[in-house]
Amino acid sequence: MTTDQRTTDRFDDIPETALAWHRAGKGAALATVVETWGSAPRRVGSQLAISGAGEIAGSVSGGCVEGAVVAEALDAIEAGKPVMLEYGVSDGDAFAVGLACGGTIRVLVEPIGPVMPVALLEDLVLARQSRVPVAYVTGLTAERRLERDGHAERFRMDRSGFEEDGATFVAIHNPPLRLIIVGAVHIAQALVPMARIAGFDPLLIDPRESFGNAARFPGETILNDWPDEGVQAFGLDARTALVLLTHDPKLDDPALQQALASDVFYIGALGSTRTHAKRVERFRAAGYDEARIARIHGPVGLDIGAASPSEIAVSILAQIIAVLRRGA
């Protein structure tokens, strides 16, 4: 499976689907969960695309109120006006979708064209395809626009929501999370499936085909290339974590240099405290300042007393998530 296919599989295509329906002349609307109370089935920012023919993609409630949202959306498409909907999800309906109790949701429905400008939706789709984090600012009365700056905390936390005015809603569209692993070693064999469960697309780089092969990592994306060339091929951005597991400076250091010049949110390198101290000295000698070197988490992972490869993988993934959600 190719890298592009993996990314597409992990990346919802709800705005893209709405745009395709509009271009096909069917009419379309986007319904977005803008507020929740209690144990709501879907988080704020979840979306449902509805075509003028009644087709749907995505979900705003896990199935509890989709039928009612579709009916309201069809009326909104016909009228060319936005509508704010509010629903209570009963305990019985909540149990049916795997929750212990119900809740309440508010859903904003925006027809494409008369409410959400087509050009704006096209720009949103392009940003998503280009792995550019973007915020869609909207509301019943707000000026609809895309913003790439000014929402650092929301981007880091993947947190859509209302601004302090209670009327302006910010919908965060982040690229899928990726984990690039240099070194297809035994720790990687445990880390890859864990990362996938946690919502990351794992990508492996190892020039040693005896390590990086389909027999050891069935179905995974593997580059048998030198790590610095491999990370360039995959690309490094703010939604990417890089973990180096080879223990070999010839393999790790060139990839580290690429990472330190990028916006990756996490860099981790395997090795003991002594090994990491030597790594730090090498980078100091190469002219890297302390702040840049401090971006490298070494020894990699949280100190949980991990001993086995699987436990080390747990500690690594936990540290990656901690940095993603709480900052370095």
Q: Which CATH superfamily is domain 177-326 in?
A: NAD(P)-binding Rossmann-like Domain (3.40.50.720)
DSSP state at residue 116: B
Name every residue whose Cβ is closer than 8 Å to that of residue 314 and which is 6 or more positions away in sequence. Answer: 194, 304, 306
Q: What is the pLDDT of residues 33-46, one digit of tens each?
A: 999 887 666 789 99
Mean pLDDT of 27-34: 97
Domain ranges of the chain: 10-173, 177-326
Residue 146 has pLDDT above 70, yes or no: yes
> How much is the mean pLDDT over the chain?
90
CA–CA dist 61, 97 (Å, integer): 9
Mean pLDDT of 77-87: 95
Do 39 and 101 touch, CB atoms closer than 8 A? Answer: yes
- What is residue 163's predicted lDDT score, i.e. its pLDDT? 94
Structure tokens at 50: 């509805």
Secondary structure (3-state) at 294: coil
Radius of gyration of the chain (CA): 22
Question: What are the contacts of 10-15 at 24+ separation with CB within 8 A?
Answer: 10/176, 10/199, 10/201, 11/128, 11/175, 11/176, 12/47, 12/58, 13/57, 14/47, 14/48, 14/49, 14/57, 14/58, 15/47, 15/49, 15/121, 15/124, 15/125, 15/128, 15/173
Least confident of 9-13, 68-72, 95-99, 116-120: 95-99
Mean pLDDT of 48-67: 90
Confidence of residue 290 (pLDDT cuts 50, 70, 90): very high
Confidence of residue 8 (pLDDT cuts 50, 70, 90): very low
104 DSSP β-pair partners? 37, 88
Confidence of residue 247 (pLDDT cuts 50, 70, 90): confident
Residue 9 has pLDDT above 50, yes or no: no
Do 319 and 269 touch, CB atoms closer than 8 A? Answer: no
Q: Which of 180, 179, 174 lies closest to 130, judged by CA? A: 174
Mean pLDDT of 126-134: 93
User: In the structure, how many helices (H) and strands (E) does the chain have?
Assistant: 12, 15
Q: What is the pLDDT of residues 181-191, one digit of tens each?
A: 999 999 999 99
Q: What is the pLDDT of residues 196-218, one digit of tens each?
A: 999 999 999 999 999 999 999 99
- What is residue 54's predicted lDDT score, i.e. its pLDDT? 95
CA–CA dist 40, 60 (Å, integer): 10
DSSP state at residue 281: H
Mean pLDDT of 137-162: 92
